Chain A
Amino acid sequence: MGKTITEKIFAAHLRDTPGAGNVILDIDVVMCHEITTPIAINDLRERGMDRVFNPDRIKAVIDHVTPAKDSKTALQGKIIREWAHRHKIKDFFDIGANGVCHAIFPEKGLIRPGNTVIMGDSHTCTHGAFGAFSAGIGTTDLEVGILKGVCAFRTPETIKIILNGTLPEGVFAKDIILSIIKKLTVKGATDKIMEFSGPVVDKMSMAARMTMCNMAIEAGATCGVCLPDMVTADYLWPFIKDDYASREEAAADFKKWHSDPDADYAGELTFEVSSLTPQVTYGYKPDEVKDIAEMSDTAVDQVYIGSCTNGRIEDLRVAASILKGRKIAAGVRGIVSPATPKTYSMALEEGLIEIFMRAGFCVTNPTCGACLGMSNGVLAEGEVCASTTNRNFNGRMGKGGMVHLMSPLSAAAAAVKGVISDPREFSTTAA
């Protein structure tokens, strides 16, 4: 029997098998942010266990609330900052160099094919885009990860998701993943890996793959994963050029992780994307998804473009293609948060920031901010936001607020029209 990519990664990292169906894995990368890590740090200190298993394999960032908004968030920053310095964690990204964790860590080349990655953040599944096993975990798992470099998982089962066809203009990875979650429901992939494959994935950029893997958790999945290939090698090239003679050689080496043709899957789903239209969520669960045409004319108070799902340069370019030369509707508040400093400076150089500002958007520093209602764009009771983020739970962006998840193009269209609308009505130059 052949193995899936995840089974191969598990086999290569197996530390222990404590009972049937459970495995303890060695972890390559333990990532930390200032919301879920400080309690772990305090707890380890109280137990007299203030150690790290390997400072080079621990990465840290302050991203959820930055700059600090009050004394409590300032203290969270202080705790993780002092800890990172104390343990000589060199990949620590603090204010001025910080960005949304699931955007900045890949951008720095810190996740490689075949890696095992954990973080106290549910959207850690994003990094499966690189052909890694990458899972969100809680603070206790994080403590053990920091201390011992291991983490417990159940033996993985994989759902193979095959994407066929050609993505139509105006339709993006975000629309695909929303339609997949609609089909699977919020619990359809619990305890499972979502393995994305097929010609549509082969052609996708790393940004698009990250958008898809990012939302695997919204179907309950442990991780999303794509098979690492030439696109992966191109993205990682600046970081791996000393390890391989050429990009082709890197891509060929990555193939060792690819799922075998006779691998065993818990399920298989095939999607034809050629007829897919822009998608949007309508309720408080990410599986409550409709064609955007069915939601048109829903008025919005705020439009938010950013987050680990859709705050990358590719997303900003797409949104700007509609906003160029246009103004956002009266009464609508537009907020854009480039996900990393590099994204921000690229957007500046490409003139995108000017397009956003002329359109009437507020441009914030890189941060998770509004996505989880912690800062930089919290909604008031009864307000509605068209958002490129990943979660529409009741109260997510502020108590009593309603969040409609959509692609950056659809969010830009909502900003201009003041109501949710099919972005394909705009003539754009979007790729």
Chain B
Amino acid sequence: MKEFGGACVLLDRSDINTDEIIPAKYLTENSKLALKPYILEDLKLNSFDPQTSLEGAKVIVTRQNFGCGSSREHAVWVLEVNNINVVIAESFARIFRQNTFNCGMLAIELPKEDIEAIFAIEAEEIKIDLKGQKITALGHGEHSASFELNPFDRELVMAGGWLAYADQKY
């Protein structure tokens, strides 16, 4: 199982799409690692700079419908190869969410109020208690919230992804 939690980056926008996470021109790469420099390259967001803002980040916190658009799992891999194994959002696009769990990573949905609170304290770190299904955000103050993983998604995370799970069961 992967490790979850650590320094976080806040992306204050809904509907961040797969083309912003990893533009299609990089889909010609045949290895996950080759995607590493291009993370969130086309995201236009206030002071966000993909070259510097993601330094040390292990968690992304964002608003609604993260990962909408293309089915490209490259959008998950580019996070993975940059050591970001967790995205926390109000909601996700279906394919992105499934791809995340399929890779044994975490797509955590929290209610709007909790997301607001994490932004309000300008969180710099997120601690994740997978067993207790609880996150604690640390910034100017602290905010804790419970989350609920779909039991099947949880099994995928524990198994290290869908391929390992499916190979055992089907």
Interface residues of A (CB under 8 A from B): 15-16, 18-22, 24, 35-36, 38-39, 42, 47, 49, 64-65, 70, 72-73, 75-76, 79, 119-122, 124, 136-141, 143-144, 147-148, 150, 152, 154, 186-187, 190-191, 217, 220, 222, 285, 372-374, 391, 393-396, 399
Contacts and interface: CB of A to CB of B under 8 A. Distances in A.
A220 B94 contact: yes
Given A72-B29, A138-B99, A220-B65, A190 B170 contact: no
Nearest to A70: B28
Interface in B24-43: 24-25, 27-32, 42
B115 to A, nearest CB: 15
B131 interface: no
Contact of B32 (A39, A47, A49, A373): A39
B108 interface: no
B38 to A, nearest CB: 12
Contacts of A75: 30
B35 to A, nearest CB: 10
A394 B20 contact: yes
B151 A393 contact: no
A214 to B, nearest CB: 14
Interface residues of B, number: 44
Nearest to A284: B17
A122 B42 contact: no
Given A143-B163, A395-B19, A186 B98 contact: no
* Residue among A38, A72, A138, A285 having the largest count of chain B Cβ atoms under 10 Å: A138
Given A72-B30, A187-B68, A374-B27, A140 B95 contact: no
* Residue among A140, A222, A372, A393 having the largest count of chain B Cβ atoms under 10 Å: A140
Contacts of A399: 23, 42
Contacts of B73: 36, 39, 120, 138-140
A138 B30 contact: no
* Residue among B71, B151, B163, B167 having the largest count of chain A Cβ atoms under 10 Å: B71
A122 B71 contact: yes
B114 to A, nearest CB: 18
Contact of A186 (B65, B99, B102): B65
A122 B95 contact: yes
A150 B28 contact: no
A141 B102 contact: yes
A15 B69 contact: no
Given A18-B155, A140-B103, A141-B102, 7 more contacts: A122-B95, A139-B99, A152-B162, A187-B93, A374-B24, A393-B20, A394-B19
A39 B162 CA distance: 16
Contacts of B32: 39
Interface in B62-88: 64-65, 68-73, 76
B169 A140 contact: no
Contacts of A24: 170
Contact of A148 (B25, B155, B166): B166
Interface of B: 15, 17, 19-20, 23-25, 27-32, 42, 44, 64-65, 68-73, 76, 91-95, 98-99, 102-103, 150-152, 155, 161-163, 166-167, 169-170
A19 B161 contact: no
A122 B70 contact: yes
A138 B152 contact: no
B163 A19 contact: no
Given A65-B28, A122-B71, A144-B163, A138 B42 contact: no
B27 A42 contact: no
B19 A393 contact: yes
Contacts of B20: 393-395
Contacts of B98: 137-138, 141, 152
Contacts of A395: 19-20, 23, 42
5 nearest A-B pairs in the assembled complex, by CB-CB distance = A138-B73, A138-B99, A140-B102, A19-B151, A72-B28
A141 B102 CA distance: 7
Nearest to A394: B42
8 contacts: A16-B170, A36-B71, A39-B30, A76-B30, A137-B95, A147-B166, A148-B166, A393-B20
Contacts of B169: 16, 18
B152 A22 contact: yes
B99 A150 contact: no
B30 A42 contact: yes
Contacts of A140: 73, 99, 102-103, 161-163
Contacts of A19: 150-152, 155
Given A18-B155, A22-B152, A36 B72 contact: yes
Contacts of A137: 71, 95, 98
Contacts of B99: 138-141
A374 B152 contact: no
Contacts of A373: 23-25
A220 B76 contact: no
A396 B161 CA distance: 30
Contacts of A22: 150-152
A373 B151 CA distance: 38
Contact of B91 (A35, A144, A187, A217): A187
A22 B156 CA distance: 12
Nearest to B161: A140
A370 B64 CA distance: 29
